[in-house]
Every structure is written in C-alpha cells, then in structure tokens.
Structure 1
Amino acid sequence: MWLYYGEISGLSNLKHGFCVSLRRAAPQLGTWELQADPNSGVQLSPTADGYRLCGTRPGQYTVLLQHRFGTRDSQASALHWPVQTDISAI
C-alpha cells in the first residue's frame, strides 16, 4: 500500500461554487481510496473514474486529502504523481 497526504488550496468567487475532478492517471497503482478532512466545507463523492470534490459557496478553501493506493510495487514511488485534476464551475 502507498499512502500520501496532500492539500488542495484555492479561492473561489463563483456564486454557486466549484468542483474538482480527480482521476487516477496510473492504473498500475491498483485500487485508490481518497478521504477529505470532514471539516473542510467540501463534499467528496466517488465517480466512475475517480472522485469529485465540490465547494458550494464562494470563499477560500484548503482541503487536506489522504490518498491510499493499493499497490505493493516498490517502484511506485518513482512514478509521476498519479492523479489528474480538472476544475469546473457549478
């Protein structure tokens, strides 16, 4: 298993908020679980190819994330960051 803690920070002036789609870009890492800090003010939902993280109001967001990849491959740490992100308005 490969465990990584990360952070997404941003400032939104969008009236209805924003969403960030996170998709696994390295399928060789096996399963992927993502958890967000429950006090961050965002909603985290699984999707068919990853996760969707949404903030529903304008303001500043800092979200602590825990990524857990199901690989036992010792070469995994040599890969580029295996998650691709896209941001959209809602």
Structure 2
Amino acid sequence: MKTVFSVYRSKFRSIGHEDDWPSYDGPWIWPNPRLMRVKRSRPVSTRTCNNMDDVEHSGEKRCGFCRQVGHTRRTCTTLDGSASTSKGH
C-alpha cells in the first residue's frame, strides 16, 4: 500500500479544514428549480444485457402465496382475495 500512496502523493494536496479556507467573495450561483428535471420514475438502466441475463421460463404461473400452479397471488382464492393485501402468511 505504501507504493500506491506514494504514486498519488504529489497529485493531490490536502484541502485542510473548512474553517481554515479563505472566504469566498465571488458571485453565488443558484440553480433554477424550473429547469431541473423531475424524477418521476425509476431511472433507465444503462447496463448491457448478455446471455447471463436470459431467464428460462417454465411457462406456468405459480402463486406466491399458496404455491399452486395456474394463478398468481393477485387472483389467489385461498383466503378469499385477502392474500393480496396481507404481507405475511
């Protein structure tokens, strides 16, 4: 690790504690909130998919609550439809 630190020692200087910094006398720049993007949904992934991402589907639906084939948790009739709103079993 000493070698790694010695490589970058001359590249970066310590900025010290904020109390020791000189006061800033230049203009203050504030972002315009009307020009900022609204984050409405999940960000789009930039990841490139490859064959590792391919999923082999069995072709059958299986309920996440009762584990029976042919329907999903949303349409499960095991607990008269209350299974979709309950978190536990």
Give TM-score scaled by structure 1 length: 0.17
- Higher-helix-fraction structure: 2
Higher RCO (C-alpha 8 Å, min separation 6): 1
- Higher-strand-fraction structure: 1
